[in-house]
Amino acid sequence: MKKITKISIILLCLMVVSSLLVVNTYAKWKPEREAAQTVDIPGTGWNPAESYIVFAGLDSSNLVVSSSVDFSEIINFAVVGYTGTVAELVIPEEITVIYGEQEITGDVLQILAGGVQGFYFEDGEEYTGNYEEVDLKNNQFLTYIYIPASVSYVGNSVFMGCVNLEEIELEGSEIAINMGDYAFSDCISLSTVSTNGRPISGVSEYIFYNTPYLE
């Protein structure tokens, strides 16, 4: 009887030790797993939307370079369209494009209306798709847009009619960003504009016409 009792005690001790090991292992694994699932902060990590952003080159006068013949004149870039379905559009501060054997890296300075034929880039190479499909206006997928401090201008009516857009976030800066009339008009779900201290130059009543943000 005593022998059976000793065996039972030993088995019980082994079960307790095993349980402690399992709990300790899970305690270490859980935060590592949660860290792996953490979403990158906009503008600082992997950007799944970037491959679908369409850019145009800008010359030294910040005018759009419309022909491949003038590729070498490109210094910086403007966003002119988006072909993706990723709901969070995080605009990068800088991009690199390749054409032929030439490579150019520049800052993203503007967001302009697209939808017209030109010399565009997507995912680092020349865009060869339908020019009429790259416009940002009336996009049905976007719910969030992040605009870096490098962007100084958002053109007239660029994001007009993005009916599911809920939030715009600006990277903090002391330099004002100029937004054209009706840039975000008729974005009927837009209720949050996080400026992070960056001034907006333009008339709010026109920029955000017919949006809940003005209510």
Q: Could you read off the pLDDT of 67-93 as tens digits, one per residue?
A: 999 999 999 999 999 999 999 999 999
Confidence band (pLDDT; 50, 70, 90) for 15?
A: low
Do 198 and 171 fall into the same domain?
Answer: yes
Cβ pair 114, 80 in contact under 8 A: yes
Residues 27, 55 within the same domain? no
175-194 pLDDT, tens per residue?
Answer: 999 999 999 999 999 999 99
Tell which wins on pLDDT, 184 or 44: 184
Cβ neighbours of residue 157 under 8 Å, at least 6 residues apart? 113, 137, 180, 181, 182, 183, 185
What is the CATH classification number for the domain harbouring 120?
Answer: 3.80.10
Determine the Cα–Cα distance for residues 155 and 174; give it in Å rounded to an integer: 20
Number of domains in the chain: 2
User: What's the mean pLDDT in 110-126?
Assistant: 90
Supply the mean pLDDT for the chain. Answer: 85
pLDDT at 133: 78
Structure tokens at 63: 């005018």
Query: For residue 45, is it within any domain?
Result: no
